[in-house]
Structure 1
């Protein structure tokens, strides 16, 4: 191995043994078989109620009603003869929109349907991690719910990632109870200068240190929807549906926002596509999203896109932002349209049997920090605990620990980019281990991370603009549930991936 003084020459070790940023180097690296694309297929919402990722597809929020005939309509409403406790129990099972319909039937049911405990529950289920006891600046929880209808899905799903060309962007959404506002903030991560050390296990491989500093962007929110967002709307003659569903909504500009900041933002709802997942949709096929929308091409970003015409067409997994610089009264410059999507929490909230899944930050050397979904998928074959037979020299505790271990280390694990770089863009696989169980197991680490499980993986590389992409031989080092490392074998380069606890920033 090189001397200590040579080790301090950071530039020499920026990429380990070889520099993947040089095309001639990249082209000489031997490729391995790519992960099976069938693992990332996605069934069309129009043909299947579940995706191949096991996530339920979105269904219309509006039920199909059978019109009543004259014979069905009577002057007697037997519902009102029930005890109030039963009426409240029945109404508690309705959606907000059905509850509003009930409130329009008669004065008695209006009083029941407007009870604040119903609407407090509706607001609360869209604000994870916070206990709401008052309706902020509104007179009631009903008024608070109405103020942000139909935007409550934004703070409910918390994390959002955008289709900015190659790099993307990563955001968190928050509900600020003091002001009653919904805000969207860009998440940024700073990568300190790396330190390098030889991996004693394979001396030619260099470990890159990685201690990222994560924070919310210090500027104004990317999106700010306050409780007066519709009362400021001048389009009263257009009707409630048009104003709330079809129109663009202006993001509030803060009083302390610099006067020289001429950037404006409009929010608009999106319509989920029924097409099979492909590159014309956002998110791309590799991302296990519940819904996708048609992604406008770069030459179309100033044009109109499909918008919902009624509530049942609204996507609660995607929305769009139109941004521009305002020069004068009617002169918009640099207009851009971006599409943002979210992930079902079941994909990134770790469980006892899938403790590695989550939102991670990865170290990509010269490209800096990038956000990933670490996607842990179970083995297609159901786990059969009865096959784990107790050994003669094994205690009950050791046997139980081995059974738990067998439940965890099975199936595949992938690093899917939510943000990217000019080589491997957002929405693509960064690395993949087809089997973290017995079939993929290589050894336990003996140096740096003694006892860490090491499994066979495939690393994804490409020239700039995602040209000539291929997978190379690599190893995934499973240091802990919160820290992974990828050994890019041909480059002699080991990089870290560390979990970020999103709730710490909400």
Structure 2
């Protein structure tokens, strides 16, 4: 565990690129005793010579020049000193005196490399050679080395901790691992590692899943409605957990618009909260350790393996596994995103700005049909913008399939294998589904694979010129509340002259700056993209779009309450039949009430609905 002092023959295996079996990440990143290659930093001769070992026993305790336990006053050492070469090169040559060296796997290059550092035990080597070959990094003050280490990632910290004892001591210091954890838990300020003995151990427990709380906002492709999940870190229990975000409006009032009595304004005061009673995702510290031990014993690739999520206080019949994903090739993804809905089930869909896409799955598609082809085989192949959850139900009291055949649990007679294949084939023929109904563990009911994606924080972080960027909740009448991303794409930089701005001779500085600011704020395109959907317009599609917030789309400045003073611009609303068929855009208007509240006037329907900003950061701190 954290604070280990064993340095013999171990490697930081869990940082390896291939994800092969090995001890848990970082727990075993300690120093072995020797290596077979020359050093790339400070090559030092080996002390394995039998002659040297014999001479060590002849050491004179009273000698004033007792160098490395070899008495230079003893004439029997003469033959030994004549055999030392100034620059020993490889194993088996004369005078080989080498410090302990560790062969580690470079997680970026994918192949072994040799790293070694000088040790105090090699003082028998000529001092001039030591000064020339010594790694300059080790001569720096400890404070400067610590400062350098603050710029390293967790993988690099683990690698450098395996080079020599001095760097190991500094690289495993908890101040560096506190930083590694803190960078991935927005909204929190950590002071203790919770149930773990150190932040290093805590980081290891959840590696490489720290991107989940880092990006915090996740939306999925389940059915047409989807789901919005907020992932956060609980420092007290040391677990990563994700909860569905829900919203409900208890205000069901409506009123006529004073500007047009045929238009109805629906009241909207949403209450947004997390569904804390039923986590969608939960990764516990102890589960992470157990999973790594099990994968290590099986010799499997832990990056492709499914991680069982053992939810605390389980009261339902739902089981779920967490899976890492591998992003699609950019050209392959682009070719599918130009297709018609559902875009060959690529997630996220084209309306959502994203740098990584993965192949999603139909809700009834079996896990084995999608996972092997799209699972990462190494750390570098893991997508940090997407993941999957495989979930299913098992009825209580249902015996394992093998016991139904008279066999022992875990043993599958040939006849049972045939029955399993027959049942799954029958389901495929009758239901048009390849979903697995039966496997070695039990009978699966309602099995599905759900793909989640996140958003670049730039998309939902408001700025002075793009104040409506963010996560919003809107009123969709009988469909209830739905969550949206309001995206304002960046515009090209422009000058006052290009915007048609010129300061008036009597215009005050304050008025001039306000006009310049508004000219840049009321400019460009605004897109409302559904993160959750409904049976008509699904998740991942546009809800409404305003092509130009500037002069090209300007309608009026509202003068009637409740929108007095608000800017009104042209927009187009997205509508469709049930099942997202015959979709089209209709004429509408967008009312920019303020940075946290807007309204959409659906002209053809004669009603106005409201949208409010969701304060996501207020949901990141557990009670």
Structure 1 residue 295 and structure 2 residue 360: aligned?
yes
Q: Does the 8 Å CA contact 1:290/1:343 hold for their aligned counterparts? A: no
> Of residues 299, 305, 325 in structure 2, which corresponds to 1:270?
325
Give the alignment's TM-score, normalised by structure 2: 0.67
Aligned equivalent of 2:349: 284
Aligned equivalent of 2:21: none
CA RMSD of aligned residues (A): 2.1
Measured after TM superposition, the shift of residue 235 of structure 1 is 3.3
Q: Distance in 2 between matches of 1:425 and 1:311?
A: 33
Aligned equivalent of 1:484: 598
Give the alignment's TM-score, normalised by structure 1: 0.83
Q: Distance in 2 between matches of 1:296 and 1:201?
A: 48
Measured after TM superposition, the shift of residue 332 of structure 1 is 1.9
Q: What SS is found at the alignment partner of 2:579?
A: helix
1:193-243: CA deviations, max 9, x gaps? 52221111222211111112211114221111111123223333135x723
Q: Does the 8 Å CA contact 1:375/1:413 hold for their aligned counterparts? A: yes
Measured after TM superposition, the shift of residue 134 of structure 1 is 1.1
Q: Distance in 1 between matches of 2:333 and 2:321?
A: 29
Measured after TM superposition, the shift of residue 384 of structure 1 is 1.1
4+ runs deviating over 6 angstroms:
65-70
Structure 1 residue 331 and structure 2 residue 443: aligned?
yes
1:397-419: CA deviations, max 9, x gaps? 11111011112111110110001
What are structure 2's unaligned runs of at least 5 residues?
A: 1-105, 119-131, 338-342, 401-441
Go from structure 1 to structure 2 and tell me whether the alpha carbon gap of 1:125 and 1:378 turns closer, same or farther (over 3 Å shift): same
Q: Distance in 2 between matches of 1:75 and 1:247?
A: 44
Aligned equivalent of 1:142: 200
Q: Distance in 1 between matches of 2:108 and 2:380?
A: 9
Aligned equivalent of 2:277: 219
> Of residues 168, 188, 206 in structure 2, which corresponds to 1:130?
188
Measured after TM superposition, the shift of residue 493 of structure 1 is 1.4
Q: Does the 8 Å CA contact 1:484/1:497 hold for their aligned counterparts? A: yes
For 1:20-419, list aligned pairs within 5 A. 63-64=108-109, 76-192=134-250, 194-233=252-291, 234-239=294-299, 242-243=301-302, 245-255=303-313, 257-258=314-315, 261-274=316-329, 275-277=332-334, 278=337, 279-280=343-344, 281-303=346-368, 304-305=370-371, 306-327=374-395, 328=398, 329=400, 330-379=442-491, 381-385=492-496, 388-419=501-532
What are structure 1's unaligned runs of at least 5 residues?
A: 1-60
Q: Does the 8 Å CA contact 1:378/1:410 hold for their aligned counterparts? A: no
Go from structure 1 to structure 2 and tell me whether the alpha carbon gap of 1:341 and 1:452 turns closer, same or farther (over 3 Å shift): same
Q: Distance in 2 between matches of 1:205 and 1:133?
A: 55
Q: Does the 8 Å CA contact 2:365/2:448 hold for their aligned counterparts? A: no
Question: Which has the higher mean CA deviation after the structures are superposed, 149-158 or 73-82?
Answer: 73-82
Q: Which has the higher contact order (CA 8 A, sep 6+)?
A: 1
Q: Does the 8 Å CA contact 2:474/2:483 hold for their aligned counterparts? A: yes
Q: Distance in 1 between matches of 2:152 and 2:603?
A: 56
Quick check: which has more Rg, 1 or 2? Answer: 2
Aligned residues: 438
For 1:445-456, list aligned pairs within 5 A. 445-448=558-561, 449-456=563-570
Q: Distance in 2 between matches of 1:63 and 1:383?
A: 41
Measured after TM superposition, the shift of residue 93 of structure 1 is 2.0
Measured after TM superposition, the shift of residue 189 of structure 1 is 1.1
Q: Does the 8 Å CA contact 2:588/2:601 hold for their aligned counterparts? A: yes
Measured after TM superposition, the shift of residue 362 of structure 1 is 1.0
Go from structure 1 to structure 2 and tell me whether the alpha carbon gap of 1:435 and 1:486 turns closer, same or farther (over 3 Å shift): same
Q: Distance in 2 between matches of 1:62 and 1:356?
A: 41
Q: What SS is found at the alignment partner of 1:213?
A: strand
Go from structure 1 to structure 2 and tell me whether the alpha carbon gap of 1:228 and 1:75 turns closer, same or farther (over 3 Å shift): farther
1:160-212: CA deviations, max 9, x gaps? 11111110001101100110111010111113352221111222211111112
